[in-house]
A and B are shown apart, each in its own frame.
Chain A
Amino acid sequence: MKRSVSLSINGRAHSVDVEPRALLVQVLRDDLYLTGTHIGCDTSQCGACTVLLDGRATKSCTTLAVQAEGHEITTIEGLAQGGELHPMQNAFWEKHGLQCGFCTPGMILSCIDLLESNPDPSEAEIRHAIEGNLCRCTGYQNIVSAVQAAAVAMRGAPVRTTA
């Protein structure tokens, strides 16, 4: 049975009719056309579906849409503000932190969560923090560089996590 669920996404309220079994990622993609959030696995390993739930990196394929009601959701589409990229997006661009771009939205959001709790991470800490985001293209090296660059940029500016 479908039910109406209110979701707050990127600062906007949405009301969608969903089955309780609908995963948050399916509702984002198929019902709200927020297709920047991707699906790369079915066992909660790859992190392509990562969004921020109340500012914290969350696998939207391991979250039911009904569970997300009452929480603030940020997707990749909600990061850039007024045409200005989030420093993490900018750093991924600057440092060539992406190739095919499929893992990138989830990766960027996880990295934002990391800098929120650890504004100056070491390489080892960065690598540990993105264990839940698989990338098959970059070998991770330039992603690490991007996070380091973003950390420098973001320490100079107030950290912004929700749109």
Chain B
Amino acid sequence: MIPVQFDYVRATSLNDALKTLAGGDGTKVIAGGHSLIPLLRFRLAQPAKLLDIAGIKELSGISEYKRGLRIGAATTYRDILDSALVRDRYQVMMDATSGIGDVQVRNRGTIGGGVAHADPAADMPGVLLALGASFNLRSKRGKRVVAARDFFQGTFATALAEDELLIDMVVPPLPRGGASAYVSIEQAASGYALAGAAVVVKCSRKTVTECSLALTGLSDRAFLAEAAAKLLVGTKADPDTLQRVGAAAVEGIEITGDIHAPAEYRRHLAAVVVGRAIRAAIDRV
């Protein structure tokens, strides 16, 4: 319950934060702390120093950007749920966010914190993958843009370098006339996804013309299922097709098994949530 001793500094500006991170002394970034503090309490993380970025204004907030969205890394899940922009355009993100943790976690937890933590069963990575988001990273060394698909690299592993800070996530607009949805089956205790599917679709006369599909909770990271998404294009998403898409989505994926869901069950659930998410998205078109 009690972390090891560490030092704590509050960043006064973005520049200040990047300077601290450049120190290279094992500093961990904290915003809401809802991914990090549980690890600290069990002493699974033992950083020498915490850098609190919650007060840096330019890291928070949701704004319209190139007809899509720009979401600051320190934006809380609560702010996402309260955002009219998200509600009007990105149902997939609303679906997922309303199921993240609980009210208290959503009040304090930040999207950037969750993404940088890269829990393999977290909901948001799948959503950002399906939406084709890109992440702006910065360090004293410079800026770079990393696509969501390149960002998640394994269990608790991302493209972020030690001295880098996740600044914001840029989400492109949905295809015109497109719709989206997220469906997951949750582990009863933790609320994390046993299997979750994020879907963006576009239809023309009931036929799917575009599809993006990402899954989470199944393996060491959230992933895009591009081949499966292609199978859907050109179909009317009939039950047989959905079954094929669901099976294709996890083809070649090493599925995690645990006390809550053996791998065989998770594989099956993946197909179920893929089918249900596609149906839900199409119903919203």
- In the complex, the chain B residue whose C-beta lies closest to that of A111 is B103
A62-70, A76-84, A138-146, A149-157: which lies at the B interface?
Answer: A62-70
Number of interface residues of B (CB under 8 A): 33
How far is the CB of B129 from the nearest CB of chain A, in Å? 26
Cβ–Cβ contact B33 & A67, under 8 A: yes
Taken residue by residue from 25 to 41, chain B's Cβ proximity to chain A (1 for < 8 Å, 0 otherwise) reads as 00000100110011011
Given the known A-B contacts A20-B50, A21-B6, A50-B104, are A62 and B1 also in contact in the complex, defined by CB atoms under 8 Å? no
Tell me the complex Cα distance, A131–B5, Å: 32
Interface membership of A15, Cβ < 8 A: no
- In the complex, the chain A residue whose C-beta lies closest to that of B42 is A42
A66 contacts across to B, CB distance below 8 A: 8, 10, 52
Interface membership of A110, Cβ < 8 A: yes
Q: Which residue, of A20, A23, A66, A117, has the highest number of chain B Cβ atoms within 10 A?
A: A20
Q: Please report which residues of chain A, range 50-79, place their CB below 8 angstroms from some CB of chain B when the two chains form the complex.
A: 50, 53, 56-59, 61-64, 66-67, 70
Given the known A-B contacts A20-B50, A21-B6, A44-B34, are A114 and B108 also in contact in the complex, defined by CB atoms under 8 Å? no
Tell me the complex Cα distance, A47–B101, Å: 12
Given the known A-B contacts A56-B78, A67-B54, are A20 and B37 also in contact in the complex, defined by CB atoms under 8 Å? no
Tell me the complex Cα distance, A1–B8, Å: 10
Tell me the complex Cα distance, A132–B104, Å: 7
B82 contacts across to A, CB distance below 8 A: 117
Taken residue by residue from 112 to 140, chain B's Cβ proximity to chain A (1 for < 8 Å, 0 otherwise) reads as 00000000000000000000000000000
Cβ–Cβ contact A132 & B6, under 8 A: no
Option from B1, B38, B103 in Cβ contact (under 8 Å) with A129: B103
Interface membership of B145, Cβ < 8 A: no
> On chain A, which size bracket covers the interface?
35 or more
Tell me the complex Cα distance, A66–B37, Å: 13
Taken residue by residue from 7 to 48, chain A's Cβ proximity to chain B (1 for < 8 Å, 0 otherwise) reads as 000000000000111010010000000000001001111010
Interface membership of B258, Cβ < 8 A: no
Tell me the complex Cα distance, A67–B108, Å: 11
Q: Which residue, of B7, B8, B34, B54, has the highest number of chain A Cβ atoms within 10 A?
A: B8
Q: Please report which residues of chain B, range 96-114, place their CB below 8 angstroms from some CB of chain A when the two chains form the complex.
A: 101-105, 107-108
Option from B8, B10, B78, B102 in Cβ contact (under 8 Å) with A131: B102
Given the known A-B contacts A131-B191, A132-B101, A132-B103, are A43 and B38 also in contact in the complex, defined by CB atoms under 8 Å? yes
Q: Can you name 8 A-B residue pairings with CB atoms under 8 Å?
A: A21-B2, A21-B4, A21-B5, A39-B1, A62-B34, A63-B108, A64-B30, A131-B103
* Given A59-B108, A110-B103, 18 additional A-B pairs, CB 8 A: A3-B8, A19-B5, A20-B8, A21-B6, A23-B41, A42-B41, A43-B38, A47-B104, A57-B103, A58-B104, A58-B108, A59-B105, A62-B33, A62-B37, A64-B37, A66-B10, A67-B52, A132-B104
B interface with A by C-beta (< 8 Å): 1-8, 10, 30, 33-34, 37-38, 40-42, 50, 52, 54-55, 78, 82, 101-105, 107-108, 189-191
